[in-house]
Structure 1
Amino acid sequence: MNRFFIVRHGETFWNIDGRTQGHGDSKLTENGIKQAQRLAKKLSNYDIDYIYSSDLGRTIQTSEMISNTLSKKIEYREDLREINFGKWEGLTIEEIKKDYSDIYTVWRNEPHNALIPEAENLYKLKQRLLNCVNELNEKHENSNIVLVSHGMSIKVLLLSLLESELSNIYRIKQDNTALNIVEFRNYGPVIIKTNDTSHLEGEKYE
C-alpha cells in the first residue's frame, strides 16, 4: 500500500496580494519560508521514501526545504503544476470581476463549465493529475510519497479520488503548506487527512 503526502507550497507574495498565480510565479514570503520549514519538520516524523514536486518556482522552493530536511532527492514534474489560468494570471479578483465579469460568475457558480481565455479547464487538470498519481502508484510499492503541488490542483485531485463532481471545488479548503494524506488500498484511495496545518499552530508571523 502506498501512502501519498500531498502538500501545498508556502505563502507567496501573490497570495498576499490576492493575485491569481496559475503557471505564473511569485516567490515565497518570509512567512512562507517559515511555513515550509515547519512542514518539512512535520514530514520528518514520517518515513518518507520519495519526493515529487511541481516544477514551478514556489513549489521548488518548498520542496527544496523538504528535501534538505529529509535528505531525499526531488523529481520535478510538470503534471503536478497548478491549473493554467490563462489571461487571468497575475490579476486580482477585483480586476477579474471588472474585465471578465460574465466568465467570473460562471467560475464561481459552475467552475467546471468556465471557459477562461487561454486557460486550462478543470477536466484537463483532473486528467493530468490522475494520470500522474496513478503512474506513481503503479511505479512504487509500500512507499511513503510526498507530492508538492498547488491549491486548485490539490482540490481537484482530492475530489477526483473521491469521484466527486468538480463543481465542489469550493467545498474543500487548502491553506499554504496544508498536508493531505491519501492511502491507496487494494479497493481504492482513502483520504486519511486533509488541510492539516497543525504544524503552524503556535507560530507567530510578523
Structure 2
Amino acid sequence: MKSVKIAFIRHSVTEWNAEGRIQGHFDSPLTKDGRELAAGWIEKLQPQTFDAVLTSDLGRTIETADIITEGLTLPTLRLKGLREQDWGEWSGLTMDELHAKFPGKLDEEVAKGWEFTPNKGENRIECATRGTKALEDGISEIIRTVDKDEIKILTVAHEGVIKSVIYKLLDHDFMPEERKLLKKRRLHWLNWNGELSIERLNEEL
C-alpha cells in the first residue's frame, strides 16, 4: 500500500481577513502582505519536494498554492469539499456587524461546540465530514496518478475546515472551555496509510 504525507496549511491573508470580515464560501484576493507572506513559506515548505497539490475551489487557496509552487508543474486538484465552513447569512459581516444584526446569536452558537451553526450555514460536524471525504478522495485520485510508493501532498485549505478535520481525527471538542489545539499560521502534517492520522501539529512556517 502506498503511504502519503500531507502538509496541511491555511491560505495566506486576504483583503477580507484584513478587514475582519467573515468569508465562509465567499472569497476575496490575497493582500500584498498576504502574497509576500505566502512567498516566505517557500523556504520552509520546499515545494519542489512535493508530488501534488490539493486546494479548495476558492481563489484564496488557489492563489496561495500558486505562489508557493511557482515555476513547478505539479498535479493539482481543486476540491469543493475543502471549502471553508459555510457561514450562511453571517458571511461578509464583521464581528461588530454580526453582533448588531444578530444580537446574542454568536455566543449562543459558540456554546454548542461541534453543533455551532451560523444562520443558514453548516455546522462543524458537516464541515468535518465533507472536508475529510474531500481530502481522502483527493488522496485517492493522486495515488492513482502519481507512480510512487511514498507520496507527499501540499494541501491549502481554510481555518475552519482544517480545525474540523483535525479535531475530528483527535476526537477533540470545540467547547469554549476546551484547550485550543491549533495555532495560527502553522503547518500541520497528516499521514495516510489506508486512513488519515496526525503526524505532528503547529510547525512554524
Q: Whole-Å Cα distance in 1 between the matches of residues 150 and 60 of structure 2?
A: 29
2:152 maps to which residue? 144
Unaligned runs of 5+ in 2: 144-148
My pick for the range that moved more, 68-77 or 125-134, is 68-77
TM-score normalised by structure 2 residue count: 0.85
Root-mean-square deviation (Å) = 2.3
Q: Whole-Å Cα distance in 1 between the matches of residues 69 and 47 of structure 2?
A: 14
Unaligned runs of 5+ in 1: 199-206
2:146 maps to which residue? none
1:181 maps to which residue? 189
TM-score normalised by structure 1 residue count: 0.84
User: After the TM superposition, which segments of 4 or more aligned residues of structure 1 sit over 3 Å from their partners?
Assistant: 136-139, 166-170, 185-188
1:1-206 alignment, distance < 5 Å = 1-44=3-46, 47-139=49-141, 140=143, 141-167=149-175, 171-176=180-185, 178-185=186-193, 189-194=197-202, 196-198=203-205
| Deviation of 1:74 (Å) | 2.1
Q: Whole-Å Cα distance in 2 between the matches of residues 162 and 7 of structure 1?
A: 17
Aligned length: 196
Q: Whole-Å Cα distance in 2 between the matches of residues 148 and 11 of structure 1?
A: 13
Q: What SS class does the counterpart of residue 191 from structure 2 fall into? A: strand
Q: 1:45-88 deviations in whole A, cap 9, x for unaligned? A: 66211101111111111011123254324211111111111110
Q: 1:72-107 deviations in whole A, cap 9, x for unaligned? A: 242111111111111101101111112222320123
Q: Percent of aligned positions with the same letter in both sequences? A: 25
Identify, as 1 or 2, the structure richer in helix. 1
| Deviation of 1:21 (Å) | 0.6
